[in-house]
Chain A
Amino acid sequence: MALLKVNEITKVFGGLIAVEDVSFEVNQGEIVSIIGPNGAGKTTIFNMLTGVYKVNKGTVEFEGKEIQNKAPREIVKAGMARTFQNIRLFPTMRVIENVLVGDHINIQYNFLDLLFRTKKFRKAEKEAAQKAIDLLESLELGDQINNYAKNLPYGMQRKLEIARAIATNAKLIILDEPAAGMNPQESEELMKFILKLRQNGHTILLIEHDMSVVMNISDRIYVIDHGRKIAEGLPAEIARDAQVIRAYLGSGGVEKDAEQDA
């Protein structure tokens, strides 16, 4: 059974159909990418998955349960966590605190425990802190634990955002254009990082418009253009797909080049 199964979801803004009948699925342990030119509807799909937008039609099943149109908070609880295209950390909080916010929904104690600082409370706090430290160390952010998030270099801020998503105990981590604004070296490093996440057992859904980024690391790729799915398959298949090439280069691209050469 697929971890995430999306069935023909549609999103309409007024008269504009932003996403139409898009279906895809993600299996446990995979890296799946959704690509498409700018404005294809990738982020809209994303926002539907994470509960920011309501789905007009179709279903989103996560572990067999329908989760479309639930509040973002409940979707996080169900086991899906995201990062943002433009980094949204908590800038004046420390690195470890950013991760603790992600873990927030997993800490169990009530107000009375807090008031009397019961054993349960202290244990929960201590465990949460240790878990955060372990996570940061495994992601090579160990020496930044007490730094403020805003002081980190850009690449590390990305990693921290991913760490925050992992801390929610998410079974599926959704990355929204993680390579945006990165130079080739930085995105190279990020790709290695994402591969490592899979080795650690995480399942990843990646949204990206830069083809070169996803070709090397994806198990499967879905291509979206003008709100519709135009192709799906292995990276090698996608790279040869005529429709995909047309979507990225435009239909007149080949002939125009030929004219210029003449």
Chain B
Amino acid sequence: MLLEQILNGVMLGMVYALIAVGYSLVFGILRLLNMAHGSIFAFGAHMALFAVAMQWGMPAAFVFSILMTGLLGMAMDRVILAPLRAKNAPNITCLISVIGVSYIIQNMLMICFDSTKKTFPKLFDFGNVEIFGVTLTSAQIMMFLIALVFLVILTIIVNKTKIGLAMRASRENSKAANLMGIDVKKVVTFTFFLSGMCAAVAGVLVSGYYQMVYCTMGTDAGLKGFSAAVLGGIGVLYGSVVGGIVVGVAEALAVAFLGGSFRSAIAYVVLFLVLLIRPSGLFGKDNIDKV
């Protein structure tokens, strides 16, 4: 029973991890909390819903959602954040702007897709699978695996490629990076694409898991992902993955042993306890604000 719930939590936690990584990527480079990430997540889910409604099939829906959501992230950076940065706007200005963007996206979704809850097809259904004497649905396992694949892809991009090197250099010292010939603007825009991609994948997976899509679905998932990022140490990618799994497991255990109404409360209690002991998060760097 305990093991089963822990595994349930890990499966769900991987999705939180994906959302958390989206926050971390942007925060790492810009020191900005992308409060629109939840809405971007919902946008990703709706793009997939649109593709499914057009009967393009699930794989195409996935790709379509990733591209559209990535483009949305890039557009948000280019249209709103890049001009603000060019004028040396204080961070709080950018923060308010992305909160604004968050509501604009949500409202656009309500206008285009109306505000009811829409059903989304189950992603995978090959019956149940038994692991360590615990029964898991194939939907859960596929959710876990797809999230894992994307996290691995992301890790490879950040750690093994030229653009990833540029991302890490910009994160460490964007001025020096710029003077070493790195196009920091391009790097930031690409980061928003990756962040949007993570949100889209998470959005499609969550929609398939609960078989439901609605405009405000990003609020709760966004906050959970954000908590996971902070818990792991925001800006640190593997920290976000661990944070996501901790939040997922805490949630699953709370539902199983205390009841569904404790679902979110317990996740935040865990967050609070971790931060009391390690204020900068599990893997966080001690002083984020060195410059």
Interfacial residues, chain A to chain B (CB-CB below 8 A):
50, 52, 72-73, 76-77, 81-82, 84, 88-93, 97, 100-102, 104-105, 107, 109, 114, 164-165, 168
Find the B residue at minimum CB distance from A84.
Answer: B176
- Taking the closest CB of chain B, its distance from the CB of A99, in whole angstroms, is 10
Between B157, B162, B168, B178, the greatest number of chain A beta carbons within 10 A of the residue's beta carbon is seen for B162
Q: How far is the CA of A165 from the CA of B181 in the complex (A)?
A: 10
Q: Which of B151-179 contact A (CB under 8 A)?
A: 157, 161-163, 165-166, 168-169, 172-173, 175-179
A72, closest chain B residue (CB) = B179
Q: Is B67 an interface residue (CB 8 A)?
A: no
A-B contact pairs, 5 of them (CB 8 A): A76-B180, A90-B168, A91-B172, A92-B172, A97-B168
Q: Are A73 and B175 in contact (CB under 8 A)?
A: no
Given the complex of chains A and B, what is the CA–CA distance between A53 and B197 in angstroms? 37
- What separation, in Å, do the CA atoms of A222 and B133 have in the docked complex? 80
Whether the pair B182, A104 counts as a contact (CB closer than 8 A) is yes
CB contacts (< 8 Å) of A92 on chain B: these are 172, 285
* Mask of B178-219 contacts with A, CB within 8 angstroms, 1/0: 111111000000000000000000000000000000000000
Contacts of B285 in A (CB 8 A): 92
With A88-B173, A104-B166 in contact, do A164 and B180 touch (Cβ < 8 Å)? yes
- Total cross-chain contacts (CB, 8 A): 65
Across the two chains, which residue of chain B brings its CB closest to A87?
B176
With both chains docked as a complex, state the minimum distance between the C-beta of B157 and any C-beta of chain A, in angstroms. Answer: 8
B181 touches A73 (CB 8 A): yes
Query: What A residues does B157 contact at CB under 8 A?
Result: 114
Contacting pair A77 B162 (CB below 8 A): no
Q: A107's contact among B162, B169, B183, by CB below 8 Å, is which?
A: B162
Are B168 and A104 within 8 A (Cβ)?
A: no
User: What is the size category of the interface that chain B forms with chain A?
Assistant: 20 to 34
Tell whether, in the assembled complex, residue A81 and residue B180 are in contact, meaning their CB atoms are under 8 Å apart: yes
Contact B178 A72 (CB under 8 A): yes
| Cβ-closest chain A residue relative to B168 | A93
**A101 near B177: Cβ-Cβ < 8 Å:** yes
Check A101 against B166 for contact (C-beta < 8 Å).
yes
A90 touches B181 (CB 8 A): no
Q: How far is the CA of A90 from the CA of B29 in the complex (A)?
A: 13
Picked from A50, A91, A93, A101, the residue with its CB within 8 Å of the CB of B182 is A101
Q: Which of A72, A93, A168 contacts B172 (CB 8 A)?
A: A93
Partner of B180, one of A52, A97, A109, A168: A168
With A and B bound together, what is the CA distance between A93 and B165 in angstroms?
10
Cα–Cα, bound, A93→B176 (Å)? 13
The residue on A at minimum CB distance from B190 is A111
Q: Which residues of B contact A90 (CB under 8 A)?
A: 168-169, 172-173, 176-177
Contact among B161, B165, B175 with A101 in the assembled complex (CB-CB below 8 Å): B165
Residues of chain A lying within 8 A (CB to CB) of residue B181: 72-73, 76-77, 81, 102, 104-105, 168
Q: Apart from A97-B165, A165-B180, what 16 extra A-B contacts exist at CB < 8 Å?
A: A50-B179, A72-B178, A72-B181, A76-B179, A76-B180, A77-B181, A89-B173, A89-B176, A90-B177, A97-B168, A101-B180, A102-B180, A104-B182, A105-B181, A107-B162, A168-B181
Q: Which residues of A contact B162 (CB under 8 A)?
A: 104, 107, 109, 114
Chain B nearest CB from A61 CB (Å) reads 20
Q: Give the CA-CA distance A102 to B285 in the complex, in Å.
A: 25
Q: Which B residues touch A82, using CB under 8 A?
A: 179
Docked-complex contact B176 and A88, CB < 8 angstroms: yes
Beta-carbon nearest neighbor of B160 in chain A: A125
Contact A104 B180 (CB under 8 A): yes
Chain A residue with the shortest CB-CB distance to B184:
A73
Residues of the A chain whose Cβ atoms lie less than 8 Å from the Cβ of B178: 72-73
Nearest-neighbour CB distance to chain B for A50, whole angstroms, equals 6
Report the separation of the CA atoms of residues A114 and B168 in the bound assembly, to the nearest whole angstrom: 17
Given the complex, which residues of B lie within 8 Å of A102, measured CB to CB? 180-181
Alpha-carbon gap, A82 to B19, bound state (A): 39
**CB-nearest residue of chain B relative to A76?**
B181
Cα-based distance from A229 to B122 in the complex (angstroms): 75
For B161, the chain A residues whose CB sits under 8 A away are 114
Identify the closest chain B residue to A50 (Cβ). B179
Q: With A and B bound together, what is the CA distance between A54 and B152 in angstroms?
A: 43
CB distance from B182 to the nearest CB of A (A): 6
**Known contacts A52-B179, A73-B182, A168-B180: does B172 contact A104 (CB below 8 Å)?**
no
Q: What's the Cα separation between A90 and B181 when bound, in Å?
A: 14
Which residues of B sit under 8 angstroms from A101, Cβ to Cβ?
Answer: 165-166, 169, 177, 180, 182
For the complex formed, measure the closest distance between the CB of B191 and the CB atoms of chain A, giving whole angstroms.
Answer: 15
Q: Which residue from B165, B175, B177, B183 sits with its C-beta under 8 Å from A100?
A: B165
Which are the 6 A-B pairs with shortest beta-carbon distances? A76-B181, A90-B172, A88-B176, A105-B181, A101-B169, A72-B179
Q: Please, how many angstroms separate the alpha-carbon atoms of A73 and B183 in the complex?
A: 7
